A and B are shown apart, each in its own frame.
Chain A
Amino acid sequence: MNIAVFRVMFLGLVRDRGALAMTFVVPAVFFLVFASIFAASSGGSFQPRVVVHSPSPDADVAGFVTELQATDAIRVTTILEGDETAARSLVRSGRADAGLLIRRAEGARPAFVILADPARDVAAQILRANVQRAFVVRYIAPAPLPGSDAFTIGPPIDVEPVTGAAAGANEVAYSAGAVALLFLLLSSVYGAVSLFEERDSGIVERIVAGPAGTRPLVDGKFLYLSLLGFVQIAVIFGIAWLVHGVDVPSQLLGWSLTSILSAAAAAGLALGLTSAFRTRQQALTFANVTMLIVSALGGSMIPRFLMPDFLQTIGWITPNAWALEAYTGLFWRDEVLTALTLPLTLLAAAAFAGLTIARSGARRLETV
């Protein structure tokens, strides 16, 4: 008898491609993605991208930079000279995790200013340690001062935050956006699969016999999920404002636009994704796993700058990344609305693409 039941279960698995994929393929993919992300975030392989600036680099500065690059702990991705504005801009925009300004009076040892993005404080800390190491190797170790311990003599290092006036308590804004997007995607999936319930109960059959077809059904769900998502985000940011002092009111317009477009993108993605499946269970399972992976890649679980480069690149296809880019722009960099054009446009495009796919998927229900 036991074998009979075993056989039923086994045949149920091997004859269901969806179940096979869920059992063997999805966990493997899930593991690969999350292992890459969390291995990097644990610190083992995080290499901050650093921009180095010196107004008039000479052989001595070049030697120091060479020493700075002699470690795997950081990656000097850009070396600038002339005006310092470009270096600050790279850090502010997130294209570099931290910056180093090298200032040197004639004949003196250099002094340093670290350009820090408080959202990426760990990058500034790593850079600081490596500047100290390079300084010691370059200047102290070859000619130690009498009676001094080379390792107690550090270089003069100032830290200059490069974020805008809205920085400070707004560190929480990143977490608020990240958490909101994660739950937005998951709750959108639950709303989107209600189409299967309507199909199974005969409601879709009734509606497609009438003049409206399935379009109002999909559009209505999109509208509802978008508004529900907006309210979800509002609740989270409301708490962030009241409890942590995130200055939402000063960025109300930008926040509203970002939030409604993020909610619309999540709704579109959920509806589009679930429309590819035949059963509620398949759709729910695959869409939930997909949303978790999307959220992880998009920075909702750990900041994207901590991830390996290839995952950071892949992350740009997720709505989470663009939404967080927009929120970071508003609350960290104090950017004006026009600076958010790209992320907001991409969120709108994702919403429209998802809605179009969902409409097309639902139209398949109109014919047998």
Chain B
Amino acid sequence: MTNPSEQPSSQSAVLEVNAASRRWGTNVALNAVSFSVGAGEIFALIGPNGAGKTTLVRSITGRVPLHEGHITLLGQPAGRASRMRRHLGLVPQAIALYSHLTARENLAVFARLAGMARDQIPSAVDRALQRVDLTTRADDRTAHLSGGMQRRLNIAAGTLHEPTLLLLDEPTVGLDVAAREAVHDVLRVLRRAGIAILLTTHDLDQAQELADNVGVLSHGRLLAVDAPNALIQTTFGDAQELVVILGASPTAEARRYLEDNGLRGVNGGKVWSGLLTGGLTDVSAVSQRLKALGIGVEELRVREPSLRSVFVRLTGENMAP
């Protein structure tokens, strides 16, 4: 696992975040966060609510000034300068479209607001519609499109001007599996087009499936940055993961037993996880010991570790799948 503070600064990086720090009163929203995103790379920033993801994205767009550190876009300071913002595309979590306009009309409006010349707009709109596979629905009102189509159109509106860096906030929230896959396909197309993508998400499976690199953000600190599989390998090695779901909150003695065996509680509650190594290789013994300590075990599971396992291991928190 790469220590985020030691991550090398790439000369070809589209986005570089260096020791970015920001406080809201006494609350530290960002604490010396550093990472970089290259062209054609999907970087997933994962973290629970309040981790600092929104503050970081707003710092990149220049809406939130940093107290320390700096952010560069193509080697230039990112911020409110108009010439730098031309390189940025933003896809908010909400469907940021005019529902009474057609897909084509929406894209034309946002192309103009992105500073595109009038004569370039029709071809850019056609290209964007094709990219998100909405050409046949181009003249339908946005309100009449399905949720998945609206999500794809939402992405298209952020990429009309061919940004160098695309910021995506939870692009698949609320979608069914098929619609989610369709959005993933769009993101892969954008990656192939060389666009650097910074994706903030709660969906750890999405991050594992899509991202070239993942940053784990918790309480304003970037705990780890690496490729998903590298993060899993670094955290778990070849070991499997043991998940214990207790019937009740553990007593002090039970808690000590679990901690002594390398297990960590999730969200301070009944779910504990750790590596299936050392003294924990005998799973049935764990169950019996906990019962002896007066704590029932609802479920005891051994599984291949995933990015979710890494996240839980690093943050002690879980996020809904």
| Partner-B contacts on A (CB < 8 A) | 200-203, 205-213, 216-217, 366-368
Interface residues of B in 173-192 (CB under 8 A from A): none
By a CB distance below 8 angstroms, the chain B residues around A368 are 58, 63-64
Q: Are A208 and B61 in contact (CB under 8 A)?
A: yes
Q: Which stretch of B1-9, B83-91, B199-207, B309-317 is in the interface?
A: B83-91
The distance from the CB of A228 to the nearest CB of chain B, in whole angstroms, is 16
The distance from the CB of B177 to the nearest CB of chain A, in whole angstroms, is 24
Inter-chain CA distance A202–B157, complex, in Å, is: 12
Q: Are A203 and B63 in contact (CB under 8 A)?
A: no
Q: Which residue of A lies closest to B81 (CB)?
A: A211
Inter-chain CA distance A216–B82, complex, in Å, is: 14
Q: Are A367 and B64 in contact (CB under 8 A)?
A: yes
Inter-chain CA distance A269–B247, complex, in Å, is: 63
Inter-chain CA distance A368–B158, complex, in Å, is: 21
Q: Which residue of B lies closest to A365 (CB)?
A: B63
Q: Are B96 and A212 in contact (CB under 8 A)?
A: no
Q: Which residue of B lies closest to A203 (CB)?
A: B96
Interface residues of B in 142-163 (CB under 8 A from A): 157-158, 161
Nearest first, the 10 closest Cβ-Cβ pairs linking A and B are A202-B92, A202-B96, A202-B94, A209-B90, A209-B61, A211-B82, A211-B115, A211-B85, A203-B96, A206-B96
Q: Are B82 and A366 in contact (CB under 8 A)?
A: no
By a CB distance below 8 angstroms, the chain A residues around B289 are none
Q: Are B167 and A209 in contact (CB under 8 A)?
A: yes
Q: Which of B92, B96, B113 contacts A216 (CB 8 A)?
A: B113
> Apart from A202-B94, A205-B96, what are 17 other A-B pairs with CB-CB below 8 Å?
A202-B92, A202-B93, A202-B95, A203-B96, A205-B90, A207-B110, A209-B61, A209-B90, A210-B85, A210-B86, A210-B161, A211-B85, A212-B82, A212-B114, A216-B113, A217-B113, A368-B63
The answer to whether the Cβ of B195 comes within 8 Å of any Cβ in the partner chain is no
Q: Which residue of B lies closest to A206 (CB)?
A: B96
Q: Are B95 and A210 in contact (CB under 8 A)?
A: no
Q: Are B96 and A367 in contact (CB under 8 A)?
A: no
A-B contact pairs, 12 of them (CB 8 A): A201-B96, A201-B97, A203-B97, A203-B98, A205-B96, A206-B96, A206-B157, A209-B63, A210-B113, A211-B83, A212-B113, A368-B58
By a CB distance below 8 angstroms, the chain A residues around B92 are 202, 205-206
The distance from the CB of B145 to the nearest CB of chain A, in whole angstroms, is 15
Q: Which of B82, B115, B158 contacts A206 (CB 8 A)?
A: B158
Q: Are B63 and A210 in contact (CB under 8 A)?
A: no
The distance from the CB of A214 to the nearest CB of chain B, in whole angstroms, is 10
Q: Are A210 and B114 in contact (CB under 8 A)?
A: yes
By a CB distance below 8 angstroms, the chain B residues around A216 are 113
The answer to whether the Cβ of B303 comes within 8 Å of any Cβ in the partner chain is no
Inter-chain CA distance A366–B90, complex, in Å, is: 14
The distance from the CB of A224 to the nearest CB of chain B, in whole angstroms, is 13
Inter-chain CA distance A156–B96, complex, in Å, is: 75
Inter-chain CA distance A207–B91, complex, in Å, is: 10
Q: Which of B80, B114, B161 contacts A366 (CB 8 A)?
A: B80
Q: Which residue of A lies closest to B114 (CB)?
A: A210
The distance from the CB of B211 to the nearest CB of chain A, in whole angstroms, is 21
By a CB distance below 8 angstroms, the chain A residues around B83 are 211
By a CB distance below 8 angstroms, the chain B residues around A201 are 94-97
- Most chain B CB inside 10 Å of its own CB: which residue of A203, A206, A217: A206
The distance from the CB of B96 to the nearest CB of chain A, in whole angstroms, is 3
Q: Which residue of B lies closest to A205 (CB)?
A: B92
By a CB distance below 8 angstroms, the chain B residues around A208 are 61, 63
By a CB distance below 8 angstroms, the chain A residues around B98 are 203
- Most chain B CB inside 10 Å of its own CB: which residue of A201, A211, A367: A211
Q: Which residue of A lies closest to B61 (CB)?
A: A209
Q: Are B93 and A212 in contact (CB under 8 A)?
A: no
- Most chain B CB inside 10 Å of its own CB: which residue of A202, A207, A216: A202
Q: Are A212 and B115 in contact (CB under 8 A)?
A: yes
Q: Which residue of A lies closest to B64 (CB)?
A: A368
Q: Are B95 and A367 in contact (CB under 8 A)?
A: no
Inter-chain CA distance A211–B112, complex, in Å, is: 10
The distance from the CB of A243 to the nearest CB of chain B, in whole angstroms, is 34
Q: Are A367 and B63 in contact (CB under 8 A)?
A: yes
Inter-chain CA distance A205–B95, complex, in Å, is: 11
Inter-chain CA distance A213–B62, complex, in Å, is: 11
Q: Which residue of B lies closest to A209 (CB)?
A: B90
By a CB distance below 8 angstroms, the chain A residues around B82 are 211-213
The distance from the CB of A205 to the nearest CB of chain B, in whole angstroms, is 5
By a CB distance below 8 angstroms, the chain B residues around A367 are 63-65
Interface residues of B in 60-109 (CB under 8 A from A): 61, 63-65, 80, 82-83, 85-86, 88-98
Inter-chain CA distance A368–B57, complex, in Å, is: 12
By a CB distance below 8 angstroms, the chain B residues around A203 are 96-98
Inter-chain CA distance A176–B186, complex, in Å, is: 56
Q: Are B97 and A210 in contact (CB under 8 A)?
A: no
The distance from the CB of B117 to the nearest CB of chain A, in whole angstroms, is 13
The distance from the CB of B246 to the nearest CB of chain A, in whole angstroms, is 35
Inter-chain CA distance A208–B85, complex, in Å, is: 9
The distance from the CB of B179 to the nearest CB of chain A, in whole angstroms, is 19
Inter-chain CA distance A49–B83, complex, in Å, is: 62
The distance from the CB of B1 to the nearest CB of chain A, in whole angstroms, is 31
Q: Which of A200, A202, A209, A213 contacts B88 (CB 8 A)?
A: A209
Inter-chain CA distance A368–B95, complex, in Å, is: 21
By a CB distance below 8 angstroms, the chain B residues around A205 are 90, 92, 96
By a CB distance below 8 angstroms, the chain A residues around B167 are 209
Inter-chain CA distance A217–B89, complex, in Å, is: 18
Inter-chain CA distance A212–B157, complex, in Å, is: 15
Inter-chain CA distance A202–B169, complex, in Å, is: 11
Inter-chain CA distance A351–B65, complex, in Å, is: 33
Q: Are A366 and B63 in contact (CB under 8 A)?
A: yes
Q: Which residue of B lies closest to A208 (CB)?
A: B63
Inter-chain CA distance A217–B158, complex, in Å, is: 17
In the complex with contacts A202-B95, A202-B96, A366-B80, A210-B90 CB distance below 8 A: yes
Inter-chain CA distance A200–B63, complex, in Å, is: 16
The distance from the CB of B157 to the nearest CB of chain A, in whole angstroms, is 7
By a CB distance below 8 angstroms, the chain B residues around A206 are 90-92, 96, 110, 157-158
Inter-chain CA distance A216–B114, complex, in Å, is: 11
Q: Which residue of A lies closest to B99 (CB)?
A: A201
Q: Are A209 and B85 in contact (CB under 8 A)?
A: yes
